[in-house]
Amino acid sequence: MSSLEQLKLSKIIWNASTGSQEKKVALPFLQASIDKALQGGLAQYGLLNFHTYSGSGELSFLSSVIKAARQEGQYIALINPPGQPNTHWFQRDICSSDYLFCVHSSENSQNLWAFEQCIMSGVCAVVLAWNLTATSQQLRRCHVKATQHGCKAIWFSSPNTQQSAIQTPCSEQLALYKKEQQWYLDVLKQQGGWPQMGIQINNPMPISNNVINRTLHASVLSTAINH
């Protein structure tokens, strides 16, 4: 048996033609260039491996996907997030904080266990994990469980620890980065499609001075009126 066949048998690689049939419901980014490259968006269930630095607007970028994946009453789990979630921000951009919970263990193994439990619970629509380390087997296990239990698992990893596309069993592998004032998205791997590099995307700054001046002006004005 050839090594290619062995890889196919272990489901590390697959034929693009067979994969496209499995992707029945897509979670769109609502950006034409990305949705076109991903044939409508991300797979509804499974593991997304997302390479980016914390604070590069990654959650804002994924907000449309998360909102599309979540139904009323379903939870969003944050495993080992970089800081404490700001409920104001989540309320405005993702969902009510009533449907949000965090796992912040000091041990990687415990975080990984919690990641798997949340995926398998059938309670969480989306499970997001930051900066965890896992073997290919562990990732594959999470991917399979996410597919079986109807969950979108999102695995954030730093671009410095980028594994090769073959080493990471997942439904999609994306990389978000900025180059000369322009944001790009690389589709390193997708089930049922070809990789595509350097997709120009829109990832705006969350604050601009125009807004700041306006809010400052408003607050100063209101303070003045109150006094």
If binding is defined by CB under 8 A, does position 82 make contact with other proteins? yes
**CB–CB of 124/134 below 8 Å?**
no
Site string for other proteins, 35-74 (x = CB under 8 A): ------------------xxxxxxxx------------x-
Q: What is the C-alpha to C-alpha distance for residues 2 and 83, in angstroms, rounded to an integer? A: 47
Q: Which of 6, 20, 86, 108 binds other proteins (CB under 8 A)?
A: 86
> C-alpha 37: how far from its chain's center?
16
Report phi then psi at 25, rounded to 5: -115, 130
Q: Which of 1, 2, 88, 224 binds other proteins (CB under 8 A)?
A: 88
Least distance (Å) between residue 183 CB and other proteins: 8
If binding is defined by CB under 8 A, does position 184 make contact with other proteins? no
**CB–CB of 125/74 below 8 Å?**
yes
Q: Is 40 exposed, middle or buried (0-12, 13-18, 19+ CB in 10 A)?
A: middle
| CA pseudo-torsion sign 152, 185, 200, 17 | negative
**Ranges within 195-214 binding other proteins (CB under 8 A):** 205-209, 211-212
Q: Which chain residues interact with other proteins by CB under 8 A?
A: 53-60, 73, 75, 78, 81-90, 93, 97, 100-106, 110, 113-114, 117-118, 121-124, 177-178, 183, 205-209, 211-212, 215-216, 218-219
